[in-house]
Structure formats: structure tokens, C-alpha cells
Amino acid sequence: MKPLNKRCRGRLALFVFVGFFFAIAEAGAFVAKESYDCQAEGNRDIKTTLELKLAKKKYGKKKREIKKELQENHGALKIRLTFFPFLDPPMNIGIGKCVSAKDGRLAIQEALKFNRGIDRVIMQEFMPHHWVKIGATDLAELTFIPITPEDLTRLSDPSLSNEAFQKVYRELSALKERKLPFGLGTRKIEVDESE
């Protein structure tokens, strides 16, 4: 059998690549078929996880006490405590799309108590659905959106239903400006109000 020349080998490689690409695309590997439904039967019973990052110098020796206190006060939540090895963790909070308004308000209270306050929210697209992160450092700073004390008061309103709470959080955590390359500043993002 005669070996293939360079042109034939190139065409064969291209054919295999294109066939492989179409096979994966047909399988739906590049497209999400449906959005996550928080009220679906298997998703309703998932407990919300509260991940709280504490300053090691301030709270390092009180981990058991703090975890016990949080579990007693918020028995419906899974509690994860981690430590920030330097001075203080960032003053941010991230709330997943399936977190109830009650659990979200409790998390805000704990952030104010243990983390000096909240000056940024994390974009919801980067949060696990049933998760709250306080003082997160495992996400890029580009996902942190600044908020004002008035915004935080609006989010903490006890009269908000689950849907209204999530709507306010999505509004606050939406990207409002895009950083331009090479230090050229920022550009406002136009948002269609009808969406």
C-alpha cells in the first residue's frame, strides 16, 4: 500500500476534525438545553450552603464556637467556614439563584457581623445555585460589582418575596460597565429595560 502524500494527509485530518466537531455539536455539548429550575422535584430539597471566609488573625481560635453558633441560629443552612490568611477578606457577598429571601437576609446579617460590611456583590452567573459566599476570594475581581448602602438596604428589605429578592439581587449584580483594554478606562453597558 502506498503512503499518503502531504496534501491527502492534510485533507484527511481536516475531514476527521470537522466530523468530530459536528458530532460534538450534534450531541449538544456546546449548548445548554434548558435552564436550571429551582422548583424542580430534585432541586427543591437541596439545602443552601453558607460559605463564610473569616479573618484568621481575628477569628482563628474561635472556629468551633462560630460554627456552632451559626448552626444553632440557622439550622436550615449548611455552614462552611474558611479563613483568609492575611488581614481581612473582601467585603463581598454572592447569592445563588435558588437561595430564598430569608436565607439571603440571614447571610447579609452574618456578613455585616463577621466581615465588616458589604461593599460589593458577586455576579450571580458565577455563583452555584444553592450557595451563599461571604468574603469570597476564589472568583475574579471582575465578577465583583460595587453597591451602595442604599442598595444593600433595598436588598435587605424583609417585605421582599423570594422572587422579588432574587430580582433585586440580579439587578444589583448585573454588569454596568466594561473595562477597556490598555488602561483606557471604562464604557457603560446599555441595558434594555424591557428584558
Q: What is the pLDDT of residue 161?
A: 94
- Could you tell me the residue ranges of all domains in the chain? 49-177
Tens-digit pLDDT profile for residues 71-83 = 888 778 898 998 9
Tens-digit pLDDT profile for residues 25-46 = 665 555 555 688 888 888 888 8
Sign of the Cα torsion 13, 19, 24, 28 reads positive
Q: Are 180 and 186 in contact (CB under 8 A)?
A: yes
The parts of the chain modelled with pLDDT lower than 70 are 1-4, 20-34, 190-195
**DSSP states of 3-34:** PP-HHHHHHHHHHHHHHHHHHHHHTTTTS--S
Q: What is the pLDDT of residue 25?
A: 62
Q: What is the pLDDT of residue 175?
A: 83
Write the CA distances from 180 to 91, 120, 148, 189, integer angstroms: 25, 21, 24, 12
